[in-house]
C-alpha cells in the first residue's frame, strides 16, 4: 500500500452535509473518523439557541441498520437488554444497551418498530462503535431468519429546542399533522408525504423537545438550507456535548463502555429482567442486581456541581471523606462548563455507598488542594429548566 493510499484510508469520512458545514463557516474536526463541525463560530450561542429556540445538528455519522425477517423480534430480544416486546405500535422507539456476557455495554442504541407484524425494525447506533456493533449483530444473528441491511446512504439531522417542532412545521407544512400527533420516543414514516427514505422521530440528545429526521443523503443539503432559512441555527459537536451533559445523558466511551454495567451508569432502568427472557448479559445483570449496597465494590453514577472557579474534567479523581477512615474514591467520566448554569458540572462514577452527608471533593490540579463539589441526581437541566434546588 502506498503512502497516498494509507492517507486516504485514514482520512476522516464526510457526511452528505460536508459542503453545507463549509458554507456555514463550520470549524471541522475529526470525530470518530468523521469530519464534523465542532462549532460555527460560537459554541455558547449554539447551546443557547437549542435551550431557548431551535438548533440543528448533523448526525449523519450515526449508523442506521434495517432489520427484516420472521425472527426479527426474537433476534432483538436475544441481542438487547431491554425488551422490544414493549413496542406495541408502529414507529414506537426503545432505548437499550447491547451487552456482552459479563454485562458490560458494547453500545447503547435506539430501535424502532417499523411494521405491525414485528418483522421489520430499524436500529440507530453510535458511529464510534460501528465495527464491533456489526460483528455482534452478525454473531447473534446466526440461526435467526433475518436480514440486516446497513444504510450508509442515509443522512440524519437532529432539530432540537423548545421551538424546534413548530419551526419544522413551518419548513414542512405537509408534516404539520404528523408532527402535532407525534409523541416522545415515537417515529413516523414520511414516505406518503416526501417519498422514499424520509422518517421523523421525536427523539434527541439534548434534554429539549425536538425531532431527528432521516432522509437520503442527496436530499439533505437542501433540507439543511430550508431549516437554516427558517431560523433553525446550525450547531456543532461542542454544543451537543454541553447540552447532553446538562441533560445527564451518557456518551459512549466516556460514561460507559464494555467494562461498565448498566447499574454503574444510570441505565439500570433499561434492563428488562421481570420475565425469563434469555438476553446476552442477563446472568451477569441478575448477579449484579443482587449485589448488596454495602458492598464497597458496587458503583453508581451521580452528577457533580462545582461553584468555585475551575472546570471539572474527565479523568479527575473524586475523593469522598478525604483524610478519614471512611475515605473512598470515584472518577469523573465527563466534565465541562455548563452554559446554562454558569458553573462547572460533571458526570461521575462513585461508590454506591455514597451518603447524602458525605464530604465530596476534587483535587483540580493534582496538587493536594481539594475543592468541594455538590452531588446531585441527574439531570442538571431538562426542557430549559434547572432540575435541582439552588
DSSP string, 248-307: T---BTTTB-TT--GGGTT-GGG---SS----TTHHHHHHHHHS-TT-TT-EEEEEEEE-
Residues 191 and 56 in one domain: yes
Residue-wise pLDDT tens for the chain (390 aa)? 444 444 446 789 999 999 999 999 999 999 999 999 999 999 999 999 999 999 999 999 999 999 999 999 999 999 999 999 999 999 999 999 999 999 999 999 999 999 999 999 999 999 999 999 999 999 999 999 999 999 999 999 999 999 999 999 999 999 999 999 999 999 999 999 999 999 999 999 999 999 999 999 999 999 999 999 999 999 999 999 999 999 999 999 999 999 999 999 999 999 999 999 999 999 999 998 877 545 667 999 999 999 999 999 999 999 999 999 999 999 999 999 999 999 999 999 999 999 999 999 999 988 888 999 999 999 999 999 999 999
Q: Is residue 278 part of a domain?
A: no
Q: What's the length of the chain?
A: 390
Which among 219, 239, 199, 221 has a CA at the least distance from the CA of 53? 239
Q: What is the pLDDT of residues 8-37, one digit of tens each?
A: 467 899 999 999 999 999 999 999 999 999
Q: Is-cis flag, bond preceding 379, omega within 30?
A: yes
Residue ranges in the chain assigned as alpha helix (H) = 3-10, 18-23, 43-52, 72-79, 130-141, 164-171, 176-181, 191-194, 220-229, 237-246, 282-290
The reply to whether 219 sits in an annotated binding site is no
Residues 163 and 310 in one domain: no
SS3 366: coil
C-alpha dihedral sign at 293, 296, 299, 301: positive
| Domains identified in the chain, total number | 2
Q: Is residue 205 part of a domain?
A: yes
The β-bridge relationship of strands 63-68 and 147-150 is antiparallel
Residues 157 and 240 in one domain: yes
CATH number at residue 381: 2.40.30.110
Q: Is residue 199 part of a domain?
A: yes
CATH number at residue 174: 3.30.1360.120
Q: Is residue 77 part of a domain?
A: no
Expressed as residue numbers, the domain containing 192 is 13-61+153-247
Residues 187 and 48 in one domain: yes
Can you give the pTM of this predicted structure?
0.95
Which among 216, 211, 67 has a CA at the least distance from the CA of 154? 216
Amino acid at each position: 500500500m502506498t503512502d497516498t493510499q494509507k492517507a486516504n484510508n485514514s482520512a476522516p469520512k464526510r457526511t452528505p452535509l460536508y459542503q453545507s458545514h463549509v458554507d456555514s463557516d463550520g470549524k471541522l474536526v475529526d470525530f470518530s473518523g468523521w469530519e464534523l463541525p465542532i462549532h460555527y463560530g460560537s459554541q455558547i450561542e449554539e447551546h443557547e439557541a437549542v435551550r431557548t429556540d431551535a438548533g440543528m445538528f448533523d448526525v449523519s455519522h450515526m449508523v442506521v441498520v434495517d432489520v427484516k425477517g420472521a425472527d426479527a423480534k426474537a433476534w432483538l430480544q436475544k441481542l438487547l437488554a431491554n425488551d422490544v416486546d414493549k413496542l406495541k405500535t408502529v414507529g414506537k422507539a426503545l432505548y437499550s444497551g447491547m451487552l456482552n456476557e459479563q454485562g458490560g455495554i458494547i453500545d447503547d442504541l435506539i430501535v424502532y418498530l417499523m411494521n405491525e407484524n414485528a418483522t421489520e425494525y430499524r436500529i440507530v447506533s453510535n458511529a464510534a462503535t460501528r465495527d464491533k456493533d456489526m460483528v455482534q449483530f452478525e454473531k447473534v444473528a446466526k440461526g435467526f431468519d433475518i436480514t440486516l441491511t446497513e444504510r450508509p446512504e442515509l443522512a440524519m439531522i437532529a432539530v432540537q429546542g423548545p421551538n424546534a417542532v413548530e419551526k419544522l412545521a413551518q419548513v414542512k407544512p405537509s408534516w404539520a399533522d404528523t408532527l402535532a400527533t407525534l409523541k416522545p420516543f415515537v417515529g413516523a414514516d414520511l414516505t406518503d408525504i416526501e417519498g422514499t427514505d424520509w422518517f421523523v422521530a421525536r427523539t434527541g440528545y439534548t434534554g429539549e423537545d425536538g425531532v431527528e429526521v432521516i432522509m437520503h443523503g442527496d436530499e439533505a443539503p437542501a433540507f439543511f438550507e430550508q431549516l437554516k432559512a427558517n431560523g433553525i441555527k446550525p450547531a456543532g459537536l461542542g454544543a451537543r456535548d454541553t447540552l447532553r451533559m446538562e441533560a445527564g445523558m451518557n456518551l459512549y466511551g466516556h460514561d460507559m463502555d464494555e467494562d461498565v454495567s448498566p447499574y454503574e451508569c444510570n441505565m439500570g432502568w433499561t434492563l428488562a429482567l421481570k420475565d425469563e427472557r434469555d438476553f446476552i448479559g442477563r446472568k451477569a445483570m441478575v448477579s449484579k442486581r443482587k449485589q448488596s449496597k454495602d458492598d464497597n465494590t458496587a458503583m453508581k453514577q451521580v452528577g457533580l456541581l462545582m461553584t468555585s472557579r475551575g472546570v471539572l474534567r474527565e479523568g479527575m479523581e473524586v475523593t469522598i471523606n478525604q483524610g478519614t477512615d471512611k475515605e473512598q474514591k470515584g472518577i469523573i467520566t465527563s466534565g465541562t462548563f455548563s452554559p446554562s448554569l454558569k458553573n462547572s458540572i460533571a458526570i461521575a462514577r462513585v461508590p454506591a455507598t455514597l451518603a447524602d452527608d458525605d464530604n465530596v471533593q476534587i483535587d483540580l490540579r493534582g496538587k493536594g488542594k481539594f475543592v468541594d463539589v455538590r452531588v446531585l441526581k441527574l439531570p442538571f437541566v431538562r426542557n430549559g429548566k434547572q432540575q435541582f434546588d439552588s
